[in-house]
Each structure stands twice: as structure tokens, then as C-alpha cells.
Structure 1
């Protein structure tokens, strides 16, 4: 094992690794384990640098952690710290969570306060792409390669080939967006894996989800936004019908996480291992309890911060309407980095209210709007505060709290 591997993980000791590395346990599915040198080269990314880069021995890392912040931080650490010429495969599962792309708007892609009520974390990853739902029926994969070998299609093709050839789901293929899909009929398809990418100086990765037995009901509920009028400069998700591997599984035995891991790892080894030149694939188990690397844990802290989770959001505007005890209220606002930059209220008063009363309430709302500028969108942290001596009466304080409570519910 390399010094790098010794520093960050241990040889795989899981049930999967034992069967893969030593073939000591019978497998429920048989896998092809070799390619000719010509076939292997053809299965690797085809770029102008393909023939000039000498690849090192491939390494697979299998995480035993289900913490999305740890797994995403560790993935980023692997990309930045493994040798530039080394093919790396990283596989992991997360407990239920919603993961948005680097340049997305959490309120346009989901309803964050409802996620919090359901105990489902919202996580912003470092790569682009759209929003996905993770649970324990979903396995995540990441293929890390030299930047000069990077193509957007390679990872998806490798994974779809593993599913077709090693899990016997012949309908599995790749669409023009490089999503892994199930072709259902002549024209219709359902996505089982979306794609996202990240490129740095010497390295690049393609990572994606694989819906094996995920709850599609929970997926649909979690990816529903209550802000249809929001206008945003963020990247919007491409909404597609989805399905699971097990829905198209021809075997009477359900596909599980270990089956998918075994299939993809076997395919990765076929493409990048070369036993004749001492380039056998190394497989390592990753446990968060073993990881002492400070950069990994600093990354976890950054991913959990409000500044990254919400403050990364591109500029947006929203229109809100509601019926409050004192009349109908409409609101227009803009926000940048999830901080309110402008907000206005327009009051449609209750019937039989005098013009003077309406004017006074509107004046209060104008004052309240000014006080909300600079506050965090939705949470409005610290918004309950003094609006000046003019509005210290309990009547205005109750009206202000009603407006702020309403905003928190509808934002």
C-alpha cells in the first residue's frame, strides 16, 4: 500500500472487499474481469493526450461513512491530493439529504424550512450540476482522472456499461446530457443517475448518483419548491422522470449497494488495471473515525457553514402574497448572497378601514422593510427589533411579528 493510502485509510475489510479482492465468498452475479489491451485502451477517455499520459495503478476508495459533508469533503481532498496520473474511484452512500449544485438557489430547488422540519439536511456541493436526493437506497460514485484525459461522457459510459454487462439491465444507456438512463420504449427514458463535474489544475472528476432502491416518493417531496415566482441567476435543475435499478432488474434477487459497488469497481479495474505491468487496482476502506487530515475536516466545516450553504446563492428576486389579520399583503424583494438587498410591502386594507389607518399601517410596513435590508433571506435572524420610538406601541410590535412570521413561512 502507498504511503498516501496508509495515511488516510485502510485496506478494505468489508464483505464486498473480501469477495472482490480474494474471491473468498460466492457472488450472486458473475463478472467479466479482463479486457484485451486494445479493448482497455478503447474504453479509456479518448482525448489528444490519451497516448502521451502514462497512468499509474488505479485505486478505489469505499466510504463506510454516511455523512454527506464528510463524503463530499473527502472526495474533494482525494481530487487535490492523489497523484495527478492516478485513476481514482470513490464510492459512498449518504443518509437522507438534498444536495444542490455549487451555483444553485436552495429555495428554487427545494423548500429548506420544510426539509429542516423533516430532518433532511440541505447540502451544497463544490461541483456544478443540478439538485439530487440522497438516501441509503442511492449509491454515489466519483471517477477522478488527469485533467487532460477528462471527457464528460467517460464516467457515465463506464457506469452504464457495468450495469448492462454485470447487472444484466440491458436497457441502461447514456443520453446526450451524459446522464445514465433506462431506455423504456422507443423514445421514452427515465433517469437513474445525473452527472456533475469539477475541474482543477491537474485533475477532474465526474460524479453522480445511482438510484438503486431509493424512495421516489421522498425524492419528489424533497425536491419541491414553494417559490414559483422566484426569478434567479442561479443554475436551474433539469427535471426528468426518474426510476430505480431494481424497477428494471431482470433477476429475482434485488440489487443492493454492494452489488452496484462490485459491478462498477470491477469495470473500473478492467479499464485501468494492468497486472502485467504491476498496475493492479488497490481497494481501500474509508472510515471517518480514522481520518485525521485537517484539510478534510476544515472542508466539512466550510460545507456546513451558512456562508457556503446559503450565502453562495446567486442574486435572485421573489414576489410573495398573503392574507394577514390586518389585510392582504404583497411583497417584492431582491437578495444577493442570500442577504436581502431591497424589499417593499404593499397593503390592500381590510374593508371599512379608514384612509388614515391604512396610511399609518403602510408607513409602518415601509419602516419594517427598511429594517429587513441586510438580513438573511428566510431566517431573518435578528429581525425582531426596535423600529424606532415611533413604533414602540405593542400594536406595531404584534403587527411586525406577524409579518416576519409570515415571511419565514412563505420564503
Structure 2
């Protein structure tokens, strides 16, 4: 088992984390449950009574870099002791995070995200697409694999929101989403299981920009058919939309305090299992596997090349006629592409055929290139199409494809 580097075992000293140890919170932490009550609050599986858990640890990240936080989350999953309950909490700067087996062009519009400066990030766990910003707090609950249930993380979070933040309508639906009782989804839960460990990962919209969320999660590919996992689209809201009368808005610090206190209540047990809270700062982290993970998450091969096979039908009006493109891509590389040209009014059959032959040659030259970026592609083809007229038309088609893909 890899040991946790001493650099990250620094007690939490940040403003919000330090507030966990004020007098009020200390009373919350000391009001532990009885052994029977504590076991009842933990995941109920055949292994619940036989597994003796070690003291829990809460890690609170000061970084807002989504690649670092997701890589560090995966590192915690794989390198903390098997019997140790771990809570990891963090916020990211604005980004769109898709699931391991999702299609980025079906879930969002990547070139729009690039234009507005919002990164697209593919996480290592499954599940659907979510929007992160500084009004959204993310959490992971890491436990022994034999204690894994799909409902436990959602129940723990909803209980903290009801009992510690005062939003009594908060509950869990049959899909194990935390919701407000009027039916509006509040967060999504995703899961990852390895040999000895499993985690629940969730996102909590506290004061996120729902307008930015809506614009960021809009796809411009209505005709795309994909073998990827599709997100379950449903209405979302924020915690602060449901505040009790007279209550001040909830902030990240307060949400962290509520979740950490509830986690402590369920998994700590007096002096022998006192929970530790640790601050995580990316500047301190020297573990090579974390930074290798960051590089992998940022790579084209992971971000886009992980995409399952898909097909798409694109239609447009170009200077030389109406055109449609039927394509198939695997791992975000084009494996087949055909163009169909509608002839211009009163155009001769010979001219239409010449244009179609050009498009057929162009299509063949694009196979094997990356979807959307068409990296390394130029409009010029073989000697038959060296004329400037065909070069311009080739560039026009390629520019159109990059815009509509």
C-alpha cells in the first residue's frame, strides 16, 4: 500500500476548514452515536457487521483546478487504507465534466465551450454530464468495496442538508439523486469501484449559475446516434432557492461544515476513531501518480479519444450547392465519411458529377482524422484537384465541417 505523502498530512488551516473546529462544531463532533446507531447509519450490506473501520479522514482541497482535483480523488481511492472512510470535498472553476463513457459532442458543444473559455473534462467514473463552478461543491465518499451501496452517499448528504442546513424538503429519489420534494433534481451521484475500494461522487448546486449551466450543456448535434452513455436530463435547482424564511444564503464553507459533521457522526467513534480533517493544496503534492493522472486527463486521447463509436448526419448550404455528410467515428477518429450534393438549379449533370467526384475524393482524404478539429487537414487533394477553384471549395467544406461537428 502506498503511504500518503507527509506533505499532505498538514492539519486544515484554511479559513473555512478551520471553522470546523469552532465551539459549535466541536459540540456536533462530540455528539457521537452509540455503536448500534452508528452501524445503522452506515451502508447496510452483508459485510456491515464484520468490517471494522479505521478512523475517518476528511480532505478539503484548496485547489480549483478540475484536472488536479479529479486526479487526486482517484489517487485517494487507490491509495488510502482499505478500511478507512474518506471524505473529499472541493470546488472547481467553471468547467463541464462528462462521464467516462460519454460522447462530448452529444452532451455539449465543445467548440462553444472553447470560445467562452470553459474547459471540458472527462472524469474516470461513469455517470452523466455536470456543470461545475464556484457555486457548486463536489464531494466523494470513499469506503471499502464490501460496504458499497448506491444509496448511502445520497442519504448522508440529504440528511446533512435537512438537519444541519434546515432545508426540510430535501430527500432522495428512486434513482438515488438528492432532490427537493417538488421534484427538481439537486445533484447527480456517480460511482467507481476497484478491487478493495468504491466511492460515491456527487455535485451539489448551492448558488451555481443555472443560465450558464443550461448554455454549457447544450448540444448542436441533434442527428447524432451514439453507443455512449447518455445523461438523464432533468430540471435542476440550487439549495439557496429553498432557504427557510429569514435564513441567510448557504455558502461553500457552511456546506462543507455540514457534510463533514455528518460524516464524522456516522464514522467517528470517540477518541479511538477521532476524525482528522486535512487541507489539500496542489503546491504541496509531489506524488508522481497524481501529476501523471493530471496529464492523462488533459490528453486528447482521454478527453476525446475515449468516446465510443457514433454516427452523425450534417446538412448545410455551401456556395456550390446544398450538401449533406454521413459519417461514422470511433475513438473520435473518422472511419467513414460520404458527401451528397444537391445540384444547383439549371446546373448541368456533368458539372454536378464533377463536384460530387471532388467531394468523394475529399471524403476519402478525411478518413482517419480527428472528429471536429480535422487536425492536419488541408483543402488540397491529388493532382486532379490542384486547381485553385477546388482548393477553395475544399477549404470551404472543411471550415463548414469544423463549425457544425
Hey, what's the Cα distance between the residues in 2 that align with 1:222 and 1:401?
Answer: 29
- Which one of 199, 211, 218 corresponds to residue 193 of structure 2? 199
Q: Write out per-residue CA displacement over residues 202-245 of structure 1, whole angstroms, 9 at most, x where no aligned residue.
A: 00000010000000000000000000110000000000110000
Higher deviation after alignment, 353-362 or 4-13: 4-13
- Among candidates 316, 322, 345, match of residue 328 of structure 1: 322
Matched residues in 2 for 1:34 and 1:74: separation? 29
> Structure 2 matches for 1:391-410, cutoff 5 A?
391-410=385-404
Match of 1:43 in 2: 41
Counterpart in the other structure of 1:246? 240
On the 8 A contact 2:32/2:269 being kept in 1, the answer is no
* Runs of 5+ consecutive residues of structure 1 not aligned to the other structure: none
User: What corresponds to 1:12 in structure 2?
Assistant: 12
Name the CA distance, whole Å, in 1 between partners of 2:26 and 2:7.
Answer: 32
Write the distance in 2 (CA, Å) between the matches of 1:102 and 1:9. Answer: 30
Structure 2: distance between partners of 1:31 and 1:241? 35
Q: In 2, are the aligned partners of 1:101 and 1:127 still within 8 Å (CA)?
A: yes
* 2:356 is equivalent to residue 347 of structure 1: no
**What is residue 259 of structure 1 aligned with on the other side?**
254
Which residue pairs with 1:390 in the alignment?
A: 384
1:149, distance to aligned residue in structure 2 (A): 0.5
Partner of 2:76: 78
Aligned length, in residue pairs: 403
Query: d(CA) in 2 for partners of 1:385 and 1:398?
Result: 7
| In 2, Cα distance between equivalents of 1:306 and 1:171 | 42
1:219 alignment partner in structure 2: 213
CA RMSD of aligned residues (A): 1.7
State yes or no: 1:116 paired with 2:107.
no
Unaligned runs of 5+ in 2: none
Equivalent residue number for residue 148 of structure 2: 150
**Is 2:307 aligned against 1:309?**
no
Question: Does 2:278 align with 1:284?
Answer: yes
Cα displacement (A) at 1:192:
1.1
The offset of 1:16, in angstroms, is: 2.4
Q: How much does 1:383 deviate?
A: 1.2
In 2, Cα distance between equivalents of 1:221 and 1:33? 44
Q: 2:130 aligns with which of 119, 129, 132?
A: 132
Partner of 1:56: 54
State the shift of 1:10 in Å: 1.6
CA distance in 2, matches of 1:194, 1:383: 39
> For residues 89 and 25 of structure 1, what CA distance do their matches in structure 2 show?
17
User: Residue in 2 aligned with 1:107?
Assistant: 105
Q: What's the offset of the Cα at 1:9?
A: 4.1
- Taking the aligned partners of 1:150 and 1:24, their CA distance within structure 2 comes to 31
- The separation in 1 between residues aligned to 2:349 and 2:403, in whole angstroms, is 29
Structure 1's 235 and 354: CA in aligned 2 closer, same or farther, altered over 3 A? same
SS of the residue 2:140 aligns to = strand
Is the 1:333–1:343 Cα contact (8 Å) retained in structure 2? Answer: yes
